[in-house]
Amino acid sequence: MGMRELPSIGRRRGSIVGAVVLAVAVGVVLRSVMGGPLSGIVSKGALSSTLRLSVPIAFAALGGIFAEKSGVINIGLEGHLIISAFVAIYAVNTTGSVWIGFVAGVLASTLLAGVFAVVCLEFRADQIIAGLAVWLVALGLAPFLSTVIYGSVNASSSMSFERITIPVLSEIPVLGALFDASPPVYLLFLAVGGSWYVLNRTAFGRWVQASGENPQALDTAGVSVRRVRYASVLLSGVLAGIGGASFAIDLSQFSGNGQTMIEGRGFIAIVAYLLGNYNPIGAFFSTTLFAGLQTLQIQLQSGFLPSSLVQTIPYLTVIVVLALVGRTRTPDAAGDHYESGEE
C-alpha cells in the first residue's frame, strides 16, 4: 500500500536475504545444541507459547503504527505496557474481576497516552524525549506503587483468563493452538485485521496517513491535524494497554524487578512495526518471529550453552534482521510538530 517502488524492491530483497540467513543460523544452532530430532520445537505447545508471548509486543506495535503513521513517534510504548500491567493486576485484586482489571489497565495506559499527546501536541515537546519520559515515569511509578500497596515490587493475583477452546478445530495438530487460547490471543487476531482495515479502508485511516505524510495537505482539506493526531496517540495508548494488561493477567502477576516483567517488549514492538513497514499484518508476523525465538530460547536453556548467552538469541537476531532488511519508509512528517496556519 502506497509504498514507493524503489524502497519496496530493496525491502523485498532484504527480507529474503534476512530470512535465509536466519534460517541457516537457527538450523546451525539447533543441530549443534540439540543433536536430536526437532520434535519439541514445532509443536502445538510451542505455537501456543509463541502466540502468548506475541500478545504484548503485537498490541504495542499496532499502537505504535497508528501514532507514528499520524506523525507522532510514540517511543514510550514500553511505559504503556508497564503501567497497564501493574494497574491491571491491582484492579483484578481489588475488584475480583479479571475483565474489570483488564479495562482498568487499558484506561491507565490511555491516560498516560493522553498526557503524552498533550505534551507533544500542545506544548510542542520533542516527541522522542517525551516518549522516553513516559517510559521512565512508568518504570519508576509501577514498582513504587507496588511497593507502597503490596510491600514488594512484585505483585500477584490469584485469577487469570479462562482459556477458550473451540471444539474440533483445537484438535488439529500444531495449528490447533490457534483455536485453544486465552481471550487476548483472539483479541489480537481481531485487532490486527481491524487495524489493517481501519488504516487502509476507512476515511480515518486516510487522514492518519495524510497527517503523517503531509499535514498541511490534510489541514487545507479541512480536517484538523490536531484531532487526528490526538485520536491516533490515544488509540496507541489503548492498544498498548490491551497488550500490557493481557500479559500481566495471563501470568497472574506483576513483577517490577529491573526492567520489570515487560523487559523491553515495548521497544521490540517498535522494531516489529518498522520491520513490518507500518503494516499491521507485517508487524504481527515480525512479532511472531521474535516471540518464536523467545519460545525457542526458553527450550534451549535446558541445553549445555550458558543460559545467559542463549537468552540473547532473540535480540541478536532482531539486530541482524534489522540490518539486513534495511530501509523502511518512515512517514515524511513523523516527529515534526505541526501548527495550523504556519508556513
Partner 1 sequence: MTSAVHLDGITKRFPGVVANDDVDLTVERGTVHALLGENGAGKTTLMNVLYGLYEPTAGQIVVDGTERSFDAPQDAIDAGIGMIHQHFMLVDPMTVAENVTLGTEPRKWGGLAIDRDQAHRDVERLCDRFGLDVDPGAPVAELSVGVQQRTEILKALYRGTEILILDEPTAVLTPQEVEELLSVFEMLTDQEKTIIFITHKLGEAMRAADEITVLRDGQTVGTVDAGEITREELAEMMVGREVLLEIESSPADPGSVVLSVDDLTVADDRGVDAVSDVSFSVRGGEVFGIAGVDGNGQSELIEAITGLRRPHGAIELDDREITDNSRRDRIEHGMAYIPEDRHERGVVMEFDLVENGLLGSQHAEPFAGNGRIDWARAREHTEAIIEEYDVQPPNPDAEAASLSGGNQQKFIVGREFAREPNLVVATHPTRGVDIGSTEFIHEQLLELRNAGVAVLLVSSKLEEVRGLSDRLAVMYEGEFVDTVDPETVTEEELGLLMAGERPAQGDEHR
Residue ranges binding partner 1 (CB under 8 A): 1-5, 201-203, 206-207, 209-210, 213-214, 216-218, 220-223, 329, 332, 341
Name the residue among 74, 66, 65, 63 with its Cα closest to residue 127: 74
Per-residue burial over 220-234, b = 16 or more CB atoms within 10 Å of its CB, e = otherwise: eeebebbebbbbbbb
As measured in angstroms, the least distance from the Cβ of 127 to partner 1 is 20
Return the number of the residue (38 or 221) whose C-beta is nearest partner 1.
221
Q: Report residue 226 as a C-alpha cell.
A: 490536531
- In whole angstroms, how close is the CB of 99 to partner 1 at the nearest point? 26
Q: Residue 101 CB, nearest distance to partner 1 (Å)?
A: 31
Shortest distance, position 1 Cβ to partner 1, whole Å: 8
CA–CA separation, 147 and 182 (whole Å): 29
State the minimum distance, in angstroms, from the CB of residue 197 to partner 1.
Answer: 8
Backbone angles phi, psi at 74, to 5 degrees: -100, 90
Instruction: Give CA separation, 309 vs 48, 247, 292, 305, 314, in Å.
Output: 24, 25, 17, 7, 10
Beta bridge partners of 180: 165
What minimum distance in Å lies between the beta carbon of 226 and partner 1?
14
Question: Phi, psi (5° rounding) for residue 306?
Answer: -55, 135
Pick between residue 174 and residue 217 the one whose CB is nearest to partner 1: 217
Quick count: other Cβ atoms within 10 Å of Cβ 144? 13
β partners of residue 156: 253
Whichever of 59 and 278 has its CB closer to partner 1, that residue is 278
- Cβ proximity to partner 1, 214 vs 252, nearer residue: 214
- At closest approach, how far in Å is the CB of 14 from partner 1? 16
Contacts of 288 (CB under 8 A, 6+ apart): 50, 51, 54, 58
The smaller minimum CB distance to partner 1, of residues 1 and 323, is found at 1
- Please give the Cα distance from 64 to 77 (Å, whole number): 7
Closest among 325, 317, 239 to 275, alpha carbons compared: 325
Q: Judged by CB, which is closer to partner 1: 247, or 273?
A: 273
Pick 90 or 278: Cβ nearer partner 1: 278
Q: How far is the CB of 206 from partner 1 (least distance, A)?
A: 6
Burial class (CB in 10 A: 0-12, 13-18, 19+), 42: exposed
Question: Judged by CB, which is closer to partner 1: 216, or 253?
Answer: 216
